[in-house]
Amino acid sequence: MTKAQERARARRRWEKRQVALAERRASHDRRRQKTMIAASAAAALAVVGTVAIGLSRSADSTSPASRTTAALTAAGCPQPPSPLGTGAKLTLPDKKTAAGKTFVATFTTNCGDITATLDGTKAPQAVASFVQLATLDYWADSPCHRLTTSGIYVLQCGDPTGTGTGTPGYGFGVENAPADNLYPRGTLAMARTQDTAKGNGGQFFIVYKDTTLPGGYTIFGRVTAGLDIVDRIAAKGSTPQGDGTPIAAISILKVTVTEQKG
């Protein structure tokens, strides 16, 4: 197969992914609109009830029936949207597209923005993959599905299904793993399966407290802003306790990446 044919196939896969993503978003928007309509109706009934109470007693603007609040997570963030899932079968990009380059990634989450620098010199394959997935909106509305708070201190994200099993359809090997197994606070690294040759895919983790992690995991970036958001999520713990789903739900709504010049 020629390179032109490969590019055409990749383009068709990308277009198919965009159509599916648009359909999921439209479906999600319709569900959200129905929820908002129901909430508005409930609020109207609550107002009627408040007026009735006010006629028999003095009107109290601070009574619970007269106030409405948006649903919040345990960390005080708005509830994230439902996962869109993924059926992605993408092709691993050439690591040369990121080699020697530095990128800035912004994770827009339901709790605010997290910013990181990506090191294409030390981890070109991981960064090339990350840039491709961000460009394709692979992580749209994807939950951070795992939080560890005992011995290992990481928030794991990057699976659009929220199950911990989603992949972009390809894998690649470990690069830039620290020889001393130390992952300082703020480290951005790839999560992987036990296969060190092809176990990396689309999932990654943010280290929020200095961690020793044997086995070799690719460090491809560092968080430069927004780490306090991860601290807030970590402070609420996980279910099961110590290693499980974050009690305070957090999702990546989108990821944008720009190349850092100079």
pLDDT tens digits, 111-121: 999 999 999 99
CA pair distance 250, 124, nearest whole angstrom: 28
pTM attached to this predicted model = 0.75
CA pair distance 55, 82, nearest whole angstrom: 42
- Locate 247 and state its tokens: 């009690």
Q: What was the pLDDT predicted at 71? A: 78
Which among 83, 148, 73, 154 has a CA at the least distance from the CA of 111? 73
CA pair distance 59, 121, nearest whole angstrom: 66
CA pair distance 152, 241, nearest whole angstrom: 13
CA pair distance 207, 186, nearest whole angstrom: 5
CA pair distance 240, 57, nearest whole angstrom: 47
Which among 194, 227, 193, 225 has a CA at the least distance from the CA of 210? 227
CATH homologous superfamily of domain 95-259?
Answer: Cyclophilin-like (2.40.100.10)
CA pair distance 219, 127, nearest whole angstrom: 10
Write out residues in the chain with pLDDT < 50, as ranges.
Answer: 3, 7-8, 10-11, 14-15, 18-19, 21-22, 25, 28-69
Question: Contact at 8 Å (CB) between 114 and 205?
Answer: no
DSSP conformational letter for 62: T
- Containing H/E element for 253? strand 251-259
Which among 218, 205, 127, 213 has a CA at the least distance from the CA of 175? 218
Question: Contact at 8 Å (CB) between 104 and 257?
Answer: yes
Q: How remote is the C-alpha of 63 from its chain's centroid?
A: 38
Q: What was the pLDDT predicted at 70? A: 55
Q: What was the pLDDT predicted at 45? A: 29
Question: Contact at 8 Å (CB) between 65 and 124?
Answer: no
Amino acid at 240: P
Which among 206, 213, 204 has a CA at the least distance from the CA of 187? 206
